[in-house]
């Protein structure tokens, strides 16, 4: 039983090391586009908002291109993603500092990690 609990705990902890975190950054650019307008889209989302931050992410995920360490993407085809994008737009307009956590995958745009949540 102890081994099972340890394995389950490791499974919960390990993904945290495979995601990007942008800590205490400002949003320097925000723009939306459809996959038809953006090269690199993987086809899993019809709409996206791309975001650039004032610093690179700490942590890494295997899919992220090192040239995109200061970038993230949000799927705005659902309410949760639209809200996340509005948080990032608000931070951009106000100059507020945010911490952003990636999900550990690049399932919307090849080489750019998808945003999991934003902390203001």
CATH number reported for the structural domain that contains residue 90 in this entry: 2.40.50
**Pairwise CA distance, residues 107 & 75, whole Å:** 9
Instruction: Return left, alpha or beta for 6; rule: phi > 0 is left, psi -120 to 50 is alpha, else beta.
Output: alpha
Residues 68, 71, 77, 83, Cα dihedral to 10°: 160
| Spatial contact of 72 and 21, defined as CB atoms under 8 Å apart | no
Q: How far is CA 75 from CA 10, 22, 93, 114, in A?
A: 28, 18, 20, 8
pLDDT of amino acid 111: 87
What are the φ/ψ torsions at residue 37 (nearest 5 degrees)? -90, -20
pLDDT of amino acid 94: 97
Please give the residue range of the domain that contains residue 67: 2-119
Structurally, the chain folds into a number of domains equal to 1
10-residue mean pLDDT series, the chain (120 residues): 41 54 96 67 68 92 89 91 96 97 89 92
pLDDT of amino acid 13: 39
pLDDT of amino acid 73: 92
pLDDT of amino acid 15: 42
Is 0.85 topped by the overall pTM? no
pLDDT of amino acid 89: 96
């Amino acid at each position: 039983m102890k081994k099972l609990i340890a394995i389950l705990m490791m499974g919960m902890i390990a993904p945290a090391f495979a995601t990007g975190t942008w800590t205490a950054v400002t949003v320097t650019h925000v723009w939306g586009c459809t996959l038809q307008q953006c090269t690199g889209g993987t086809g899993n989302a019809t709409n996206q908002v791309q975001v650039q931050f004032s610093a690179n992410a700490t942590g890494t995920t295997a899919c992220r291109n090192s040239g995109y360490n200061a970038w993230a993407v949000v799927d705005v085809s659902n309410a949760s993603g639209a809200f996340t994008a509005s948080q990032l737009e608000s931070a951009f307009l106000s100059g507020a500092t945010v911490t952003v956590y990636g999900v550990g995958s690049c399932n919307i745009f090849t080489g750019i990690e998808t945003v999991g949540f934003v902390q203001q």
